[in-house]
Structure 1
Amino acid sequence: MLPSGGDYGARLAALLPTISAALKAGKVSGALFVVVDGLGWANLRSRAATVSGLVPAACAQNLHDLTAKRIETVAPSTTAAALTSITTGKLPGEHGLLGYRMLDPDTRQIKTTLSDWQHVTNFRDWQRSQTVFDQLSAAGIVARVYGRKAHAHSDFTQAVLTGAEYVATATIEDRLLAALAQLRDVGGLAYVYIDELDKAGHEAGWGTDLWLHRLGQLDTAIGDVLAGLSNKYGFALTADHGMVNIPKTGQRQIEELGCIPEGTLIGGEPRFRSLYLPDPEQAEHVVAELKAVEGGSLLVGTKAQWLHAGVFGAVDPKNADRIGDVLFSSRKRVAYYTENEKPEVRLMVGQHGGFDDDERGVPLLTAGAWRARFPFA
């Protein structure tokens, strides 16, 4: 059985359009919108003691004092798909970045959506949707993005942050304080991207000392900003996905399953794989074989079955060929690797991409003008 229930990121995608509408209508003088890569609802709210004896919930008191609700991220629960949905207001089936690695139908090559843009001459051929920043700029409203210098000039940044002025800052605190200064100076939208927790989670695992240190840095910086945020400004914080820790004993190699046809191209990422078969007519047979080999460990189906499940939202026909003939996602703490995987990928502890509640659930935290509730359109 494939996933059912949930909105598959519809409310996540609605956040920035709702903020934009509030700014255009003059309902707030400015908006501070924070996206924390990898900070899932379960990760943030966990009250289980870690190895060091610390409890994540106790390390983020400022965040826990905010108005909070759980919403869901997109499918797959991965950065390229989710960030693009956040900045365009569209689900992956429409904007076209349907995973971490996907097929370019024109070249029949697997491309990494965060980095492989050399073949793209027009960004809207690969990421098909206009950004909310473009819409704000057209309305004469200031839109700035605050992030790390390393991301300032990437092709992915240009494709998903079109229309915003990018301000490079070194630390989490620098980003948030610069954003607050913008609101006081010119208003508009200040979008802050924080990926330090995601990096720590991949490297060491969520809930580890390194991850908790980054969470503490974020919480302190949020507290400092909120102390200077008046109620005429809106504040919202969310994430692109949550995270689960995968032990080494949970690593599987796809080629060793013995049921993947030779010549199959493999996309996606270890928690959610997309198989592009040499003969698409083999799809139902491959699904049956995967079920026989892996039993109930997988959510697996043909492209048609996944499209019917609606997990990607309405899929533009121009994007349908980017989706594999067979897709499968792990239901357990297991990750599926390929023999050509980069060695550093196998070292990642914290992972995401699949349909586990801890991967799908993300926080929506609000303050300032939205302390009582976020004004969903």
Structure 2
Amino acid sequence: MSQYQDNNNNLNKEKIKDEEIDEFERSLNSTSLVDVARDIKNSLHGGETKIVNGDKILLILTDGLGWNVFHETGLQECQKIRSVFPTITVTVMTTLLTAKSPGEHGILGWKVYDKRRGKVVDLLSAIRNGETPEISMPPSYLRGEESVFITPLSGSSKRLFSTLVGAHVRNYFTPYDSLSVLRQSLPEKRFAFFYLPYVDTVSHHYGPSSPETAETVREVSKIAKKAMEIGKSNGFTVVLTSDHGQIDVEKNVDISRDQEILDNIEVPPFGDSRNLMIISRHDVSETFKKYETYIFGKETLSKYAGGNRVPDYAVVPKGRTTLNYWIDDSMDYKGNHGGISKDEMEIPLCVT
């Protein structure tokens, strides 16, 4: 049974039975994306592995493909694993490319706290605007000349991978030419990353339980299966996985005008709307009591994120709610992620 509010932060000491927390804590002992990333690193550099073996790796990442929609793919002989917390794309990408947990690399969402400049930086906005964020990114284990990233031309993925790794990025224009670009990119490479963002995009706008998302999963799976065949025919061990699943959002809550929150925090919240990261000298459990949330103090947050590069608190909405301090288009999303629920955490892993 989990006590999700830390004693050392003078939070409520009562142990509250909560199925979601119990399930999340039990999952911490299962195979995770950190394990997958470490195996890929060891495969490429001659270390010991348990899940992934091979001196050439094709990693196919289907963004937003949670285990709750995976049955639509028709893929066989795959296993269920867990993502990392927070379940945010940039957090997962950093883990996959550094083989470090979020609590080790410190990228806990798209909005990060830049301690040197004393401000919250929106990584996604900066990358989209062609800026180089002044954030200390951890080094990748990948060697640039041996690696290639295949991503859509539209969106921010090219700049994201260049920022995280400094690697060579090749773009495709549409899903229909993506396989051709993949095929052309593999010669003389030991690591290739093939990124398919479409399930995530559709889930955000229609919800993960929608027929639109189910149809997208089926169509994207056709591409993923062909990509697996291309990788195998070129001598690659193929790893197909995802970064997170999504929940169907029932309520988006605007907390940007909540004066009590502003009075009790040192800097604006960062992270994302399903995982607000808080720096505060105060006990914030009462501050957020009006919202249905879990409050993780630093000790628990370090445990859940896998390291000590974490703030004082994380505020995680219960159920199917988001808490929005930074008001943007995501307030209209019908699907979202970032939290600890089963639908957000559980993802597939296929290794061939």
Q: TM-score, normalised by structure 1?
A: 0.75
* Structure 2 Cα separation of the partners of residues 159 and 224 of structure 1: 29
User: Counterpart of 2:67?
Assistant: 41
**Alpha carbons 2:64, 2:243 under 8 Å: kept:** yes
User: Counterpart of 2:341?
Assistant: 356
User: Counterpart of 1:375?
Assistant: none
Q: Does 1:216 align with 2:229?
A: no
Q: 2:79 aligns with which of 53, 69, 87?
A: 69
Q: 1:301 aligns with which of 296, 304, 310?
A: 296
What is the aligned residue count?
A: 322
Shift of the 153–11 alpha-carbon distance from structure 1 to 2, 3 Å rule, reads: closer
Which residue identity lines up with residue 97 of structure 2 in the other structure?
Answer: T
What's the offset of the Cα at 1:24?
Answer: 4.8
Shift of the 116–152 alpha-carbon distance from structure 1 to 2, 3 Å rule, reads: closer
Q: 1:18 aligns with which of 31, 36, 39?
A: 39
1:1-377 → structure 2 map (5 Å cutoff): 1-2=3-4, 3=21, 4-7=25-28, 11-25=32-46, 28=54, 30-45=56-71, 57=72, 60-61=73-74, 63=75, 65=76, 67-116=77-126, 126-134=135-143, 137=145, 142-150=146-154, 155-162=159-166, 164-183=167-186, 185-228=187-230, 229-230=232-233, 232-247=235-250, 250-254=251-255, 259-262=260-263, 264=265, 265-277=268-280, 280=281, 282=282, 284=283, 286-291=284-289, 293-294=290-291, 297-307=292-302, 310-315=303-308, 319-320=309-310, 323=311, 325-338=312-325, 340-342=326-328, 344-367=329-352
User: Counterpart of 1:54?
Assistant: none
What's the offset of the Cα at 1:197?
Answer: 1.2
Which residue identity lines up with residue 27 of structure 2 in the other structure?
Answer: G
Q: What's the secondary structure of 1:116's corresponding residue?
A: helix
Which residue identity lines up with residue 65 of structure 2 in the other structure?
Answer: L
* Structure 1 Cα separation of the partners of residues 158 and 189 of structure 2: 26
Which residue identity lines up with residue 133 of structure 1 in the other structure?
Answer: L
Shift of the 153–147 alpha-carbon distance from structure 1 to 2, 3 Å rule, reads: closer
* Structure 2 Cα separation of the partners of residues 15 and 261 of structure 1: 39
* Structure 2 Cα separation of the partners of residues 208 and 103 of structure 1: 35
* Structure 1 Cα separation of the partners of residues 55 and 298 of structure 2: 45
Which residue identity lines up with residue 363 of structure 1 in the other structure?
Answer: P
Shift of the 304–166 alpha-carbon distance from structure 1 to 2, 3 Å rule, reads: same
Q: What's the secondary structure of 2:271's corresponding residue?
A: strand
Two-structure CA RMSD over aligned residues (Å): 3.1
Which residue identity lines up with residue 189 of structure 1 in the other structure?
Answer: F
TM superposition outliers: structure 1 runs of 4+ over 6 Å: 117-121
**Alpha carbons 1:287, 1:326 under 8 Å: kept:** no
* Structure 1 gaps, min length 5: 46-56, 368-377
What's the offset of the Cα at 1:35?
Answer: 0.8
Which residue identity lines up with residue 111 of structure 1 in the other structure?
Answer: V
**Alpha carbons 1:9, 1:72 under 8 Å: kept:** yes
Q: TM-score, normalised by structure 2?
A: 0.80
> 1:90-124: per-residue Cα shift (whole Å, max 9, x none)?
11122221222232222222211333369987x7x
> 1:241-286: per-residue Cα shift (whole Å, max 9, x none)?
1101102xx2223257674243741222221112334xx1x2x2x2
Q: What's the secondary structure of 1:174's corresponding residue?
A: helix
**Alpha carbons 1:29, 1:232 under 8 Å: kept:** no
* Structure 2 gaps, min length 5: 5-20, 48-52
Q: What's the secondary structure of 1:311's corresponding residue?
A: helix
Which residue identity lines up with residue 290 of structure 1 in the other structure?
Answer: F
* Structure 1 Cα separation of the partners of residues 150 and 299 of structure 2: 40
Shift of the 114–332 alpha-carbon distance from structure 1 to 2, 3 Å rule, reads: same
User: Counterpart of 1:372?
Assistant: none
What's the offset of the Cα at 1:9?
Answer: 9.2
Which residue identity lines up with residue 117 of structure 2 in the other structure?
Answer: T
* Structure 1 Cα separation of the partners of residues 171 and 46 of structure 2: 29
Shift of the 152–107 alpha-carbon distance from structure 1 to 2, 3 Å rule, reads: closer
Q: What's the secondary structure of 1:190's corresponding residue?
A: strand
What's the offset of the Cα at 1:216?
Answer: 2.2
Shift of the 312–145 alpha-carbon distance from structure 1 to 2, 3 Å rule, reads: same
Shift of the 328–24 alpha-carbon distance from structure 1 to 2, 3 Å rule, reads: closer
Shift of the 29–84 alpha-carbon distance from structure 1 to 2, 3 Å rule, reads: closer
**Alpha carbons 1:179, 1:191 under 8 Å: kept:** no
User: Counterpart of 2:50?
Assistant: none
* Structure 1 Cα separation of the partners of residues 158 and 236 of structure 2: 30
> Share of identical aligned residues, percent?
20
* Structure 1 Cα separation of the partners of residues 185 and 349 of structure 2: 22
Shift of the 352–153 alpha-carbon distance from structure 1 to 2, 3 Å rule, reads: closer
